[in-house]
Amino acid sequence: MRKIIIAGAGHGGLTAAYILAKNGFDVTVFEKVKREQLGHDWHDMLLLDAFDVCGMKRPDAEHTSPPLPTAAYSPNKKGKLKLPPDARESLVYMDRRYLDAYLVKQCEEVGVKFEFGTNCFGLILEDGKVKGLKVSCIADDGAAQRQIERRASDVYADLVIDSAGMYSSIKANVPDEFGIKKKFAENEVFYTYRAYYERTNKKTKIKDDNNVYLYHCGIPGMSWVVRREDTLDCMVGCFVPFDEKDCREAMLDYQATHGDLGDRLFRGGIRANIPLTNTSSVLVGNGYAAVGDAVAMTEPLTGSGMTLAMKGGKCLADAIIACGDKEYNRENLWQYQYDYFETYVFPNLFGANIRKLLRFVDYKDINMVLAYKLITPKQLVVLSKAVPDLIRNTILASKAKRIFPKKYNKKRVKAWQEVYEKL
Read off the pLDDT of residues 336-388 as tens digits, 9 standing for 90 and up: 999 999 999 988 776 655 556 566 566 565 665 555 554 555 454 444 444 44
Residue 136 has pLDDT above 80, yes or no: yes
Helix axes 306-323, 11-22, angle to 10 degrees: 30
SS (H, E, C) 37-55: HCCCCCEEEEECHHHHHCC
Exposure string for 359-385, b = 16+ CB within 10 A, e = fewer: eebebeebbebbeeeeeeeeebeebbe
C-beta separation of 28 from 114 below 8 A: yes
Radius of gyration of the chain (CA): 22
The answer on pLDDT for 150 being more than 80 is no
Q: pLDDT exceeding 90 applies to what percent of the chain?
A: 65
Model confidence over 275-325: pLDDT tens digits?
Answer: 988 899 999 999 999 999 999 998 866 667 899 999 999 999 999 999 999
- C-beta of residue 112 within 8 angstroms of C-beta of residue 268: no
Which CATH code fits 3-64+83-183+281-347?
3.50.50.60
Closest listed residue to residue 12, CA positions, set 100, 118, 80: 100
Question: Are 71 and 82 a contacting pair, CB within 8 Å?
Answer: yes
The whole-angstrom separation of Cα 144 and Cα 100 is: 30
Minimum mean pLDDT range among 62-66, 69-73, 123-127: 69-73
Torsion of CA 121, 273, 342, 132, to 10 degrees: 0
Domain ranges of the chain: 3-64+83-183+281-347, 187-275, 351-420
Residue-level pLDDT at 205: 61
Q: What is the largest CA-CA distance in the chain?
A: 67
Q: Which of 250, 260, 262, 404 is nearest to 341 (CA)?
A: 404
Q: What is the mean pLDDT of residues 62-74?
A: 88
Q: At what angle do helices 349-360 and 388-402 cross, to 10 degrees?
A: 150
What is the chain's percent helix, strand, coil content, to nearest 5?
Answer: 40, 30, 35
Query: Per-residue DSSP letters for 371-421?
Result: HTT---GGGHHHHHHTSHHHHHHHHHHHHHHHT--SS--HHHHHHHHHHHT
Q: Which of 255-264, 270-279, 284-293, 384-393 has the lowest mean pLDDT?
A: 384-393
Measured at the CA of 413, the angle between CA 190 and CA 157, to 5 degrees, comes to 75
pLDDT above 50 for 63: yes
Sequence-distant contacts of 77-80: CB under 8 A, at least 24 apart: 77/213, 77/257, 78/367, 78/370, 78/371, 79/366, 79/367, 79/368, 79/369, 79/370, 79/371, 79/372, 79/373, 80/370
**Structure confidence at residue 141 (pLDDT):** 52
**111 pLDDT tier (thresholds 50, 70, 90):** very high
Q: Flag whether the pTM goes above 0.85.
A: yes
